[in-house]
Amino acid sequence: MATDSLTRIERHASFGGWQEVWQHTSETLHCDMKFAVYLPPQAAHQSVPVLYWLSGLTCSEQNLITKAGFQRYAAELGLMVVAIDTSPRGEHIADDDAWDLGQGAGFYLNATQQPWASHYAMYDYLTKEIPALISAHFPSNGRQSIAGHSMGGHGALMVALNNPGRFESVSAFAPIVAPSQVPWGQKAFTAYLGSDTTQWQQWDSLRLVEQGHSLPVTLIDQGLADPFYPQQLTTELLETRCKEKALPVTFRYQPDYDHSYYFVSTFIEEHLRFHAKALMT
């Protein structure tokens, strides 16, 4: 099925709704991109709210839809769930041999340094192009929330902080909360944005909170057996700042859970119910 520039490339019946994957030529990223949409059964006869999902390093739109088991809960709650890719893709797109830079590692920012700046504008893609496509072609009622895992947790928090009032709620699993202070973020930010660290602040959730940006109701889960915690995932730094600013953020530390989708799938129901409560109030 094709709709203007959109082509549906997957469609699977799931809990009375449809799990779809769409492809389009992105005007923002200058390449072909894929995104996943779960349409709950309610979407067949009415508009529904949207939860955007951002995945982590090395991931694509496929990780959430094949590993998290969220569809059962989205169907019950009447949530459309949109999962985007983590970077521009293609043979002509700049890349790096390392897994934590380049394709699969866009960090949801707008790159300013070459060779990345020609295509790596994931922030504009996420905040402008994708919402416009969803609004134009899918039964959204205009209410939206955002969630993510790891690098995607960074993206969800950072995008919400930079767009006050847009989202009813935010949630994150094992987010990179202070990318300017940890190796993953420092490597990516230096490559994409250059060595002037003042240019990093608009993409760093901790810095944005320190500068007075606000969040809607937010839920953050961190596994205590996560191999990247606390060296890359400095969760307590953000918790301290959010408490100082009296932001409505709940932090939970889960014993025994690691960084994988076993962790995500365990708590995804709670996250979807959290978002549904905010979206349907």
| Catalytically active residues, by annotation | 150, 226, 259
Residues 6+ away with beta carbon under 8 Å from 18: 11, 12, 38, 39
